[in-house]
Every structure is written in structure tokens, then in C-alpha cells.
Amino acid sequence: MDKDDLILPKDFPELKNDAFLLACRGQETPHVPVWCMRQAGRYLPEFRESRAGKDFFATCRSPAACCELTLQPLRRFPFDAAIIFSDILVIPQAMGMDVQMVAGKGPTFPEPLKEPEDLLLLQSKVDVIKELDYVFKAITLTRHKLEGKVPLIGFTGAPWTLMAYMIEGGASTTQSKAKRWLYRHPEASHQLLKMLTDIIVEYLLGQVAAGAQALQVFESHAGCLGPVEFQEFSLPYLRDIARKVKDQLKESGQDVPMIVFAKDGHYSLEDLSQSHYEVVGLDWTIDPRSARERTGGKVSLQGNMDPCALYAPKERISEIVKKMLEGFGTRGYIANLGHGLYPDMDPENVGAFVEAVHTHSRHLLNLKSALGEGKLILDLNLEETCVKHGLGKQFRRFLVGWMTLKQQLTWRRCSPFHLDTYDTLSQCRIRLTLIVL
Ligand code: 1CP
């Protein structure tokens, strides 16, 4: 292919590994796909070398540099997806705000928004295609250079998270300046959130036109909102984004899976699973089985190993991954961490994480194909089972009594299967329905 063709968003190489895209849609995959948030990052020596002495946002503006940084982790590990190297804060920049990456401090806005009047200083009608053209170029180039190895994920920050940075002026643990706006200036807050939503929709559509094959929306600051504020200041905008992007893509016969990741926002899991996203990303503070129950099979799930588990020895990482897979099941699941990789993490352990996901999930899937998918109903005569297995009289009495007491209960300890219903047929007969996931 001619070098100039790499800048055109067409004639992309054929996709060779579609496990990630299939899992987004809840379809069967040969293994559970895996990628890591911040997989292009400072934990990789080659990343530190490429970035050495260079301004962070200047790097973001160089399509060649973004492409190289995106590809680096894929040369080391068999990740099932790539995520474009960029940052969520390119949007406030496109709206006219100055954002710098200060070493040891993180993103910094020298002049954050202080009062609602400051909204007038923002560029409300942003020419997204022009201002963020460098991101689109990076996506197109990377999609070509990936040579169809894995799909490329585009991303954005969600309106509330971006608003929080624009008001806080940088990282904050409480987000108290931004939350002050929600309580004191609700109208201006909605005005800003709406402004951001419109830009985000156009930005995501631009990313798809440039070659992104999936989109992730990062609501990284969901945790500092409670359920009530989340309902008012985050959820409606998250929904709007997915709906508008999907409606517009539909018009051109396209359909791209979307992932929503509301960190620490699992109080809203039920709502998030009905917000037009195919995938809900989870941080590590929620139990996989509970997340499955609460989302009721409506969406695929992504996550959620504690990133700090990567500090454990490799054998322990493997055990943690196995448990996580048994909890989520192998269908409609994308393995990831519950948040991004930290700079001091050992790349070897990242490799162990990826390998554990692939190995354990293949094993579970082999078991599943041996047993067949769906429901496996076992009618057991308790009396016979207990005698056969030498279970004592007392135990039998206990079991029968317990079952009569609890006609129906869910017992989810039968990995890799879910022992779903457990009800008494007669005094001594039980029906176990194993749902093979
Ligand atoms: O110089 C450096 O390398 C700085 C570290 C770094 C990196 C690697 C920053 C600064 N941004 C990025 C890239 C980045 N940012 C990606 C690249 C793709 C990949 O994941 O491999 C992505 C997806 C982001 C998204 C991003 N930026 C988020 C959402 C995800 C999350 O972490 O919750 C957020 C909140 C940011 C802001 C940001 N940019 C950088 C830092 C250190 C931060 C967080 C600041 C804070 O603590 O609030």
C-alpha cells in the first residue's frame, strides 16, 4: 500500500481477531477477550523512551506518535483490542481552554472555570472536525498500521467528568469546586453539560468515520456523585450520547459497539445497563456475580480486576483471574482491570494477566462445549444420592428440612456453572438447574 493511502479512512486491512467485538455484542468467542485501560502508558520502558522530553499534548497532536504509542503494548502482549493513544482533555482544549500536562502533577488548567459567566469564554460552537482533526488522523493511521490484528477503540470523557476538570483545574479527590456548581448553579451546569454532550457526539462520530471500531465513554468521576446527582447530571447525558451516536450511525448503515465506564458508579448499574450501551465497564469494587445479576443479561460486562492485583506474584494473578472469569462467565464478557495500569507496574505481570485470561477462559469454554450450552437439569433423589455418597442421616435430615424451608433459592457457587434454581419437587427430590454460561 502507498504511504499516502494510510491517511485515508478506507480500504482498511481485514480484521483477523474479532473476539472483542463479538463479546461486546454478547456473542460466542473462542476465548474471553482482554485489554487494559492505560495499556499504552508509562509502565512500558519503550513508552517512557518515546515520550522522554516531549510535551504530552504535543504528542497527542502527532498522529505518528499516537500510532506508535498505541501499537507498543500490542507488540508485547496478545491484547484483543487497541485503544487510541490520546486524552480526554483534548475536548476542553478544543473549546478554547488552556490545558497543560505538568510533570508530577498531572493535567492542569491555568484558568479553570470559576463562575457561570466564564461559560461565555468558551467556544460553544466548536468545529470538531477541524479542531480535533489530529485525533482522527491518528485513528486512521493506526487502523491501517494495526493490519487488522485487533479492533481499535476510540474514546471520550463523559460530560460530567470533563466539566469537573474544567472547573477543578486538574486532579481532585473531592471535586468540591465542580460539585459546588451542581448545587449552586444547576442551570449553568446543565448548560455546560449539554454543550459538552453535543461536542462529544460529533467527536465520537468523527472517530468512527476515521476508523474507530468501538467507542468507550469514560465517566471517571462518577464516584463523587451520589445516586441522585448522578441521575440528574450524568445519566441523561450518557444516554443522550449513546442514542445520538447510534441514531446517526444507523442512518449510514453503521453500528459500532459502545462501552460506558462510570468509575465507582455502581449504584447506577441497573440504569447503566439500560442506557443504549452494549457494554458496561466495572471497577473492582463490585462482585462479578452481583454485577451480572443486577444487569440481568441486558449488556456485556467489562472489567474488573483490581489493578493492584498486578503487584501480586504471577501464580496469584492467575488464581484471581480464574475466579473473576468464573464469576462473570465466558459469554458477553471482556476482561480488563477495574481502572488503568499504574506507571510502576511490571510489564511481565501484565503479560501474566493476559495469558491467564486466555488460558482459563479457553479451559472454561472447552468444558462448556463438552457439556453443551443452556440448561442442564438434574433431578436427584436425595435419599439415593445421600446413601450413594455415604452421607449421614443427620445431614439428610438437614438437607430436606432446609429445602422445605427455602422453596427457591439461588446458589451461585457451582462455577463454572451457575446453579440457578434449587427447588423441592417432593420431600426427597430436588431439581438442580445448572445454567451453563
Ligand atoms: O505523560 C504521560 O504519559 C502521562 C500519563 C497519561 C497517559 C498515558 C495521561 C495523563 N493520559 C494518558 C493517555 C490516556 N488518557 C489514554 C490512552 C490510551 C490508553 O488507555 O492506553 C486514555 C484512554 C486516557 C483517558 C483519560 N485521561 C482519563 C479517563 C480514564 C481514567 O483514567 O479514568 C482521564 C481521567 C484522563 C485525565 C488524565 N490524563 C493524564 C492523567 C494522569 C490523567 C488523570 C488525572 C487525575 O488523576 O485526575
Q: What percent of the chain has pLDDT over 90?
A: 79
Pairwise pLDDT comparison (423 vs 153), residue with the higher score: 153
| pLDDT at residue 376 is higher than 90 | no
135-149 CB burial, b ≥16 within 10 A, e <16: bbbbbbbbbbbbeeb
pLDDT (tens digit per residue) in 150-208: 999 999 999 999 999 999 999 999 999 999 999 999 999 999 999 999 999 999 999 99
In ligand 1, the atom with minimum distance to the C-alpha of 87 is 15
Cα–Cα distance between 1 and 144 in angstroms, integer? Answer: 10
pLDDT (tens digit per residue) in 272-331: 999 999 999 999 999 999 999 999 889 999 999 999 999 999 999 999 999 999 999 999
The 8-class DSSP code of residue 54 comes to -
CATH class belonging to 23-311+328-346: alpha beta
**pLDDT for res 387:** 58
Q: Quick one: 336 exposed, middle or buried, by C-beta within 10 A (0-12, 13-18, 19+)?
A: buried
| pLDDT at residue 261 is higher than 50 | yes
Beta strands per DSSP E along 186-326: 214-219, 258-262, 279-281, 300-305
Reduced to 3 states, what is the DSSP secondary structure of residue 109?
A: coil
Residue 361 and residue 326 in contact, taking contact as beta carbons nearer than 8 Å = no
Residue 210 and residue 140 in contact, taking contact as beta carbons nearer than 8 Å = yes
Grid-cell match 502507498, residue found: 2
Cα–Cα distance between 416 and 435 in angstroms, integer? Answer: 9
- How many CA atoms within 13 Å lie on the side-chain side of 333? 26
pLDDT class of 417 with cuts at 50, 70, 90? very low
CA of 383 to the centre of ligand 1 (A): 60
The 8-class DSSP code of residue 88 comes to T
Residue 90 and residue 60 in contact, taking contact as beta carbons nearer than 8 Å = yes
Residue 222 and residue 266 in contact, taking contact as beta carbons nearer than 8 Å = no
Pairwise pLDDT comparison (194 vs 381), residue with the higher score: 194
Q: Where are the domains of the chain?
A: 23-311+328-346
Asked if residue 83 has its Cβ within 6 Å of ligand 1, the reply is: yes
pLDDT class of 405 with cuts at 50, 70, 90? very low
Give the chain's mean pLDDT: 89
Asked if residue 217 has its Cβ within 6 Å of ligand 1, the reply is: no
**pLDDT for res 162:** 98
CA-closest candidate to residue 287, choices 262, 312, 306: 306
**pLDDT for res 123:** 86
| pLDDT at residue 407 is higher than 60 | no
**pLDDT for res 124:** 72
Q: What is the pTM of this model?
A: 0.87
Asked if residue 323 has its Cβ within 6 Å of ligand 1, the reply is: no
Residue 14 and residue 148 in contact, taking contact as beta carbons nearer than 8 Å = yes
In ligand 1, the atom with minimum distance to the C-alpha of 155 is 23
pLDDT (tens digit per residue) in 333-375: 999 999 999 999 999 999 999 999 999 999 988 877 766 555 5
Of 4-18, 68-82, 109-123, 275-289, the one with minimum mean pLDDT is: 4-18
CA of 38 to the centre of ligand 1 (A): 7
Reduced to 3 states, what is the DSSP secondary structure of residue 266?
A: helix
CA-closest candidate to residue 201, choices 240, 167, 164: 240
Grid-cell match 462501552, residue found: 259
Q: Quick one: 46 exposed, middle or buried, by C-beta within 10 A (0-12, 13-18, 19+)?
A: middle
Best residue among 49, 75, 88 to mutate for probing ligand 1's pocket (most ligand atoms within 8 Å of CB) is 88
Pairwise pLDDT comparison (431 vs 85), residue with the higher score: 85
| pLDDT at residue 425 is higher than 50 | no
Asked if residue 87 has its Cβ within 6 Å of ligand 1, the reply is: yes
Pairwise pLDDT comparison (70 vs 370), residue with the higher score: 70
**pLDDT for res 283:** 98
